[in-house]
Structure 1
Amino acid sequence: MISQTLSSVDLAGMEPKFNLQPVAQATRIQTIDILRGVALLGILLMNIPAFGLTEASVQELIRGPHGGNYWLKTLIYILFENKMRALFSMLFGAGIILFLAKSRTGSGMAAPELFIRRQLWLIVFGLINALVLLWHYDILFDYGIVGIFLFPFKRLSAKALVLCAVVVGLIYSGKYYWDFAEQKQKYEKYQKVVAFEKKLKAVKPANKKVKLTDDQKEDKETWEGMVKSKKYDKKADKATILAMRSDYVTVWNHLLPQIQRMEAPFFYQFGLWDMVSMMLLGMALFKWGFFSNKLTTSQYALLAVGGLLIGQTMAWLSLPSHELKIIDYSKFISTSILPLDDVLMPFERAFSGIGWASLILLLYRSGIAQWLWKGLSAVGQMAFTNYLMQSVLCTLFFYGYGLGYYGDLKFYQLYFVVAEIWLIQLVFSVAWLQFFRFGPLEWLWRSLTYGERQPMRLTQPATPKTSILA
């Protein structure tokens, strides 16, 4: 087994102790950095369509003829959709335990207080990513909030954390089923109005216009408006492309409603439960030594096969539900017993995330492609910088105040951009860490959290000296 550097962590009792200062290079867990790097690069596979194409045009791949772009999208949906973000969330949960395992600083500041400051600054960076860099699917803001609620859970045992994760996952599924049931009620009300109209026309065929009550009109208009909003609107699609190819202010005004919807109502209704379940699971996995390469090879092999087999089977089973919802929403509501893709999502992601992580750790143990693990470790060590770098590179490439390629590329061409960004981030991360302790934004985040300017260059002394916050 490849030896680990974090010898001060007792993974059996899982109450590790540290002096409260930023993690030094010598005490990092390389496998966590590698997995974080894989998850970070993998997230771009799902994010790139939202950067470069309208949601309506991507959905048209499902409604239209099933060519190469459709099969590429389907492959990504089954293998990676939400799975990489699930793994990223699990690792964030593991990071909560790592941070809170520290005792206190020389100034006497307790770890929970520093952790709250760390999360509050993450919320600020998330708002910058969403409202300044204009990435409307930002997760930093959400992670900042969720982390504050989760830090008391570090005292729970691994089994208790898994139980909590399952309960929260069931809440997520239940909320989507509740929403589905409400839509079903609206559809049934609409059907009653349609049946009433047909009955009156059959009795009095001369009456071309049937008079409805206000409630009946509302029931009919509500459903028809909802169905219309889910159909492809070529005019609206062109308007979106035109807005996204415009100047910064126009793009900002166009994206603001979506940013507000994602960071507020969607987060509190659904996103919160999704992230909490994965982070709790990540905390449990860390306590079992999963992320730090402590399991046996046979255990990782079993988890890789079992996790991917179960997770990918769930993804395949949920695909028809996912596509029918886009192709014919009325048929989806009227014929489905439950929204299978939404109900299975937290469990599909959990099994697949564990499966992918186990497979990566098995490959890492094999000792092959050491240059690749070094690159992925560097990307993971600078995940905060690289996540925001993806926002900068993609918005400048696609949006109108940059190169203006929004809506201009075919679906498959987006992944040439992904490959280029991966190469840039791998090379940049490795080169940067040859001279510096942290990524540039990791350094800023740590300095703001600790209230002291952290040493940046590898040749600098490790003890922070200069206070930058009163």
Structure 2
Amino acid sequence: MEALRAHQSGEVDPAVHPVVQTERIPTLDILRGVALLGILLMNIQAFGLTDASLDQLIRNPHGGNYWLMTLVHGLFENKMRALFSMLFGAGIILFLTKTRSGSGMDAPELFIRRQLWLIVFGLVNAWGLLWPYDILFHYGIVGIFLFPFIRLSPRALLVCAVVAGLIFSGKLYWQFAEQKQKYEKFLPIAALEKKNKKVKLTDEQKEAKSAWEGLVKEHQYDRKADNADVLAMRSDYSTVWAHQASKIKEMEAPSFYQEGIWDILSMMLLGMALFKWGFLSSRLTTRQYIFLAIGGLLVGQAMAWLSMPSHELEVVNFTKYISGASLPVAGVFMPFERAFSSIGWASLVLLAYRAGIGMWLWKALGAVGQLAFTNYLMQSVLCTLFFYGYGLGYFGDLKLYQLYIVVAEVWLLQIVFSLVWLKNFRFGPLEWLWRSLTYGKRQPMRLTEKTSPVTPVLS
């Protein structure tokens, strides 16, 4: 309990060593397991289908696949990733305030090394395993900027999280405003051409027309391009690599630095605040968790379902979406929708855990969460080998509902693997590698191995 109070107050211990089993906070592992498995609910769609084919379900809103996608989108999209980001923020505090090994380095230097290695793992996940929506690369970068924040009070961290969320909303609104501006420049040109079909446009008018028509084309279904995407993803490794390269570059550079960094930053800061308040370590009262579960899910889900028509209209009729809307509701709500919903889901999980319901389930989820790093990359390995052409080549071949059969199989495999592995080892294989690289020496792996004595770090 003294250690936990030190974590929440932000006091830094003068020595550093890798976390041992007795120091783990069970609820963090359980929530991390829930988030890790929940992330696959959304990622599986990108693993197995093209974006265009998913949009076609929205353009033809009927049948079980449409309602399944709508349900998953409303309940879980971005919420589980947000919870994962919150827990990573809590992990920053834990790393910098728990005691570590006598590595000859102080805690901030070890933390920077840890984050730099995480960036390397993220690059391997993106460029080696060809998963364009990797989050490890982004977490590694954002985490480096966040470690000075650990001494802030929970209230100050919450304010910072809200500010970052507002900037993220503002970025999405700015993008919408730029699109609306292109539409407004196009309108008089369209009216001019309607009045006189033989009118000769200036270079500026041609550019404005091309900009808007290109934007509209991006939001229309192109069967030929969609089939080409499927064919490329069912090809050999080098073809898939070349096909995914542009998307990976977009996600790890422009998209991240323009918008994504504020999304991750806001959720990590919120996680740091929640950890210091004791929320993530199950230190609130049952009444408080009930209030947060009901309030968080009501507010978050209300935002999710209110923004759904805006999201669908953007896909179905982009011109009507831009011309008729004064505010991109889905984009503006996004950071707050996911924050409220994630807190609600986490509260619900903690209430069930506190009630002692299904303790076997919490043990399983805790094991998955303890091996979250290994399991995250395992999902990339399993799904790319199942769907991509250099594996089994099922990309674009399954219906949406069939993808969730794959999800259930991956979940089962990861639960069994995690439980069996932890019967013999302290860490997951990649957790062990990450720690060994961070500390610059091999860490004890088996439960029977002796740990190194704690020694002070250099000042």
Residue 184 (1) aligns with residue 185 (2): no
Structure 1, 17-26 or 227-236: larger mean CA deviation: 17-26
Residue 392 (1) aligns with residue 381 (2): yes
Residue 8 (1) aligns with residue 3 (2): yes
Q: Deviations over 1:363-410 (max 9, x none)?
A: 001111111100000000000000000000000000000000000000
Displaced runs of 4+ in structure 1, greater than 6 A? none
Structure 1 residue 197, shift from structure 2 partner: 2.0
Q: TM-score, normalised by structure 2?
A: 0.97
What SS does the aligned partner of 1:436 have? coil
What SS does the aligned partner of 1:8 have? helix
Q: Write the letter of the residue equivalent to 2:116.
A: L
Alignment-derived partner of residue 122 in structure 2: 126
Structure 1 residue 222, shift from structure 2 partner: 1.1
Whether the aligned pair in 1 keeps the contact of 2:300 and 2:339 (CA below 8 Å) is yes
Out of 348, 351, 365, the position equivalent to 2:354 is: 365
Please list, as runs of the form range in 1=range in 2, the aligned pairs for 1:18-417 lying within 5 A after superposition.
19-102=15-98, 105-199=101-195, 201=196, 208-417=197-406
Q: CA RMSD in A?
A: 1.3
CA distance in 1, matches of 2:104, 2:288: 42
Q: Write the letter of the residue equivalent to 1:346.
A: P
Q: TM-score, normalised by structure 1?
A: 0.95
Structure 1 residue 7, shift from structure 2 partner: 4.5
Structure 1 residue 107, shift from structure 2 partner: 4.0
Structure 1 residue 33, shift from structure 2 partner: 0.1
Q: Deviations over 1:50-101 (max 9, x none)?
A: 0000000001000014211010000001100000000000000000000011
Gaps of 5+ in 2: 455-459
Q: Deviations over 1:145-204 (max 9, x none)?
A: 0000000000110000000000010000001111111111100000010112233x2xxx
Residue 456 (1) aligns with residue 445 (2): yes
CA distance in 2, matches of 1:106, 1:247: 46
Q: Write the letter of the residue equivalent to 2:73.
A: Y
Structure 1 residue 106, shift from structure 2 partner: 2.6
Structure 1 residue 13, shift from structure 2 partner: 3.1
Whether the aligned pair in 2 keeps the contact of 1:18 and 1:102 (CA below 8 Å) is no
Structure 1 residue 18, shift from structure 2 partner: 7.2
CA distance in 1, matches of 2:274, 2:84: 13
CA distance in 1, matches of 2:338, 2:14: 32
Structure 1, 246-255 or 209-218: larger mean CA deviation: 209-218
What SS does the aligned partner of 1:232 have? coil
Whether the aligned pair in 1 keeps the contact of 2:126 and 2:248 (CA below 8 Å) is yes
CA distance in 2, matches of 1:168, 1:438: 34
Q: Deviations over 1:7-49 (max 9, x none)?
A: 4221663436374111101110000000000000000000001
What SS does the aligned partner of 1:95 have? helix
CA distance in 2, matches of 1:177, 1:271: 14
What SS does the aligned partner of 1:171 have? helix
Structure 1 residue 108, shift from structure 2 partner: 3.6
CA distance in 2, matches of 1:19, 1:378: 27
Give the share of equivalent positions with the same residue, in percent: 72
Whether the aligned pair in 2 keeps the contact of 1:104 and 1:110 (CA below 8 Å) is no
Alignment-derived partner of residue 468 in structure 1: none
Gaps of 5+ in 1: 1-5, 202-207, 466-470
Structure 1 residue 255, shift from structure 2 partner: 0.2
CA distance in 1, matches of 2:308, 2:291: 25
CA distance in 2, matches of 1:185, 1:83: 31
What SS does the aligned partner of 1:452 have? coil
- Pick closer, same or farther for the CA change 1:107–1:39 going to 2, 3 Å: closer
Alignment-derived partner of residue 442 in structure 1: 431
Structure 1 residue 464, shift from structure 2 partner: 7.8
Whether the aligned pair in 2 keeps the contact of 1:83 and 1:352 (CA below 8 Å) is yes
- Pick closer, same or farther for the CA change 1:12–1:112 going to 2, 3 Å: closer
